[in-house]
Structure 1
């Protein structure tokens, strides 16, 4: 890897740099802390995380260090988001699982749940002898339904969940991983590092960090590379955010339409 670039700063610029770093890191760190602290994110907990994340973004305003969205980048951003959605679900969709079960099996063994290498997704009885890769409520009026099912949470809670995953976390993660971490590892202050500078080793490292944050870790790595390249090529952080949000929004619709709650 090339030597990390360092720009000499005045005391005032040092203070701005410190503020910029905190502004990018703290929302992400608090989001992760809430994940651990709140535990199971069902019911009101995911909504609480989403609203807390939104509050952090509005309080810290990391977009202060970036140009405005370039409208010309919206179509390609949406296109990348759609492409990554298909990458995420592609080898586990019912058609592939039914017609090429070996492909789905080896994908699950090799590229899903890095904590359990070479093992399949765990299956659970969701009623009537049907096995699925997610658990459902075992008793009561909602027996047989997933905790994220709108019939359990209510539609308001469902759309808050969709807002959280498609907007809040997309914004928090893109400002942290692509806007801050990638450029910070290239040099300091990170906000003065050329956003269009492509450094493959660093991009791969950051994408791996991003990938292992997700259960479908290989899809996450591919996703990280795609969003990173999109940011580098357009030099528009909002393009990466739109792509990320598009992927997550489509994934949420897919989850509800096909009861694919393993992706949530």
Structure 2
């Protein structure tokens, strides 16, 4: 695969971004959500889920990219119209957070998220150069990442979930532990009543091995991603961070985490 220049990270209203995600900014901020829309938000590489009931994709995989692709989103014929984004909550158009719009946020623990993001930047030449693991981890802790700080991201969306009833906050660790339970919770939130057969079909389709083989979810057709360096779908396990963090890095990370995660109600699990 021919090498191509990598983008540079820059500060965009206090959040790390790259040019590709800010060129369409006026259209993003003026985007008009509809009452039947479902917005799915995550921090990059926080884990994704592909739950489909009767051709309704809930909550993840659609045929368009980030919220920046507003022109394409406007043309989506599906009902509900599903929109996904990695934007921090303060960047999301106000119409996407109104009371008539359903919002699903998926979060993953910081350590596993950091490991996954590191390997994603290694293999994706459309992202900034990550450097080695030690360099990347320090940048992650300092929030010098595309789409900003993990801490700000998960906390910002959590605060909205505490205020608005149209927000549903999910944890990747819960999905791995008991997918069926989380499907039931999500269906209840979205007002869906799938049959037992539909639930079983969904559970089978969202296993990591099946998603890794699915071209809709493994990104194998993207020429910016060199999957010989690292596959887009790596392992999908909770606790993979233990194979990357040194004892000293883990201690430093834990201390930094205590300083930045002030909300005692937002708790993550690092193993299940």
TM, length-normalised to structure 2: 0.28
Which protein shows a greater Rg?
Answer: 1
Structure with more contact order per residue of length (Cα contacts < 8 Å, sep ≥ 6):
1
Pick the structure with more strand per residue: 2
